[in-house]
Amino acid sequence: MADVMYERVRSIQRCVGVCFITGALLLTFSIVAQPSFGDVNRTDQILGALAKQGWGAWMQLHAVMMLGFVLVTVGFAALAFLLHLKGSSGAASIIGGTAVLGGTLWVSFFSAELYGYRYLINLYTIDPGLATALFSTVWFWKMGGIAAAAALTFTAVIASGIKGTARGLYPLWLGWGGAFFAIAGLAVYFFDYLGSTATGAAINPMQAAAVRYGIGLPLQLWVLGVGVHMMRAYITGVAMMPAEAPAARAPAQKRTPPVGSPDPIPPA
């Protein structure tokens, strides 16, 4: 049984390592290559900027982003299962649920951009007003979905960083470092959302270079660091086995009265 658990944990380490390393590299590339559109509420200017770009490169960039989010989501699910084996079932449920739901939102909204925006750009050359109106509906819906996906992903990183450190999966600086940047990202999105409630304007803090490179990029480096740490543990054979269960107590032996002692008083 111990050999089966050992191999199971090592296979999870390999899955987390491969998915996190590959996914983090793809998402880091997409963060650097993603163009900035400025004010996300000026949909007329955004649609015009999209019409001037090469559509093949745009589709390839979003395909890279979707693949990166799929790999990172699988890595989070495997990490949640490893925490479950380590005894943190509650944290594992939070990580698995938020990561899978957040990854689903990321992939769903980015996949809509592969072909949908091309139709709107073609319509823009015929009827700019109608194209802008349709694009605004899709764009603002996407902004809301991305904000929810970002909040869910930040929650998964916070739970992974704190509980992973507590269970000895990675060092203190790595676990709490990721939690720190995720809490900062969650705070930025929360306060931007509060500021938008008065006007109804969409939010996308990642369009700002300070947030993109000050929060988004460090979080991808955290994912990469966790992946490297897990892959190193797999290669070196450190299985991070779950803590041993406490040994069962031996049944108490029945005490017999010594020879010659008076018999106990029988109950009435």
Question: CA-CA distance, 43 to 47, in Å (whole number)?
Answer: 6
pTM of the model: 0.82
* Host domain of residue 227: 2-236
pLDDT score for 257? 55
Give the closest residue to 185 by CA, choosing from 216, 225, 210, 220: 216
The distance of Cα 180 from the centroid of its chain, to the nearest Å, equals 14
The total of structural domains in the chain comes to 1
Residue 228, CA atoms < 13 Å, CB-side half-sphere = 10
Question: Whole-number mean pLDDT of the chain?
Answer: 83
In a domain, 241, yes or no: no
In a domain, 42, yes or no: yes
Average pLDDT over residues 147-163: 94
Amino acid found at 53: Q
pLDDT at 261 over 90: no
In a domain, 9, yes or no: yes
In a domain, 128, yes or no: yes
Model confidence pLDDT, tens digit, residues 78-109: 999 999 888 888 889 999 999 999 999 999 88
Radius of gyration of the chain from its Cα atoms, rounded to whole angstroms: 26
Average pLDDT over residues 164-182: 91
In a domain, 120, yes or no: yes
Contacts of 42 (CB under 8 A, 6+ apart): none
